[in-house]
């Protein structure tokens, strides 16, 4: 994990508390957003212990600057940012001074994840930071049900949300695990684990119904690849 806090005493206190949890590995400390972003790109931490108030760029603004964000636990002296923290899917929100049992409980929420190289493959447990207008989310890759092309942009479908990313479908598809995602047609990539039903479709294609009700037409060529892959 990476500790991000502009106050030296606060970083020291977090280190003291974390020393009591042997399975935790601290990979570094950052004093401000630019320092944190450089270290995130270099050491790829699974988790940020992130302060809200920092000079120049606060914790929320830092997250907006990341394409692939680690899991986040906010650590702050202010309690009135809690709602905003959970709107961006923070794992927890700890108010200083932090009690050891609260810190341990927050860390227990962290799912095991391997380091992901910037721009490299996205693992199923990888959380990506998504922003669409004023709304923000951390979403696990495995929770993305469907990705649709909208020109040079891509629309994600997850948990009744449909934000648009400034990335092409091809660019996103190159980073997805082929064991989890399948290109159904020229415009859509679906999550295999979210398939609810499959039915024959004209021209030897398939009509796929996803959990949540979305329907995806699978082209004949892709239907053949899908059948060979899944042995239908």
Q: For 210-224, how does the pLDDT look when each residue is reduced to its tens digit (9 = 90+)?
A: 998 999 999 899 999
The pTM score is: 0.54
Architecture (CATH level 2) of domain 139-230: Beta Barrel (2.40)
Q: Which regions of the chain carry the CATH code 3.40.50.2300?
A: 2-107
- CATH number for 2-107 (one of 3.40.50.2300, 1.10.10.10, 3.40.50.300, 3.30.2230.10): it is 3.40.50.2300
Q: What pLDDT does residue 85 have?
A: 73
Give the CA count within 13 Å in the CB-facing half-sphere of 194: 23
Residue 142 is given by DSSP the state: G
Residue with tokens 């962290």: 110
Q: For 80-131, how does the pLDDT look when each residue is reduced to its tens digit (9 = 90+)?
A: 777 777 666 688 889 999 998 888 888 877 754 433 233 457 778 777 767 7
59 beta partners: none
Q: For 169-225, how does the pLDDT look when each residue is reduced to its tens digit (9 = 90+)?
A: 988 898 899 999 999 999 999 999 999 999 999 888 999 999 989 999 998 999 999
């Amino acid at each position: 994990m990476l500790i991000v806090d502009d106050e030296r005493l606060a970083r020291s206190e977090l280190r003291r508390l974390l020393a009591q949890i042997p399975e935790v590995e601290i990979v570094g400390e950052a004093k401000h957003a630019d320092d944190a972003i450089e270290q995130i790109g270099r050491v790829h931490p699974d988790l940020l212990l992130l302060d809200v108030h920092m000079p120049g760029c606060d914790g929320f603004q830092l997250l907006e600057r990341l394409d692939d964000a680690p899991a986040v636990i906010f650590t702050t002296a202010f309690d009135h940012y809690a709602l905003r923290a959970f709107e961006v899917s923070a794992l927890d929100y700890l108010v200083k001074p932090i009690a050891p049992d609260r810190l341990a409980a927050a860390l227990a929420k962290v799912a095991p994840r391997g380091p992901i190289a910037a721009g490299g493959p996205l693992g199923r447990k990888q959380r990506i930071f998504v922003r669409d207008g004023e709304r923000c989310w951390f979403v696990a890759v495995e929770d993305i049900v469907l990705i649709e092309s909208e020109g040079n942009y891509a629309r994600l479908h997850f948990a009744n949300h449909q934000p648009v990313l400034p990335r092409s479908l091809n660019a996103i598809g190159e980073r997805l695990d082929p064991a989890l995602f399948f290109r159904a047609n020229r415009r859509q990539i679906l999550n295999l684990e979210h398939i609810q039903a499959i039915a024959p479709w004209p021209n030897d294609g398939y009509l796929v119904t996803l959990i949540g009700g979305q329907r995806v037409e699978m082209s004949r060529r892709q239907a053949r690849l899908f059948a060979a892959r899944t042995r239908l």
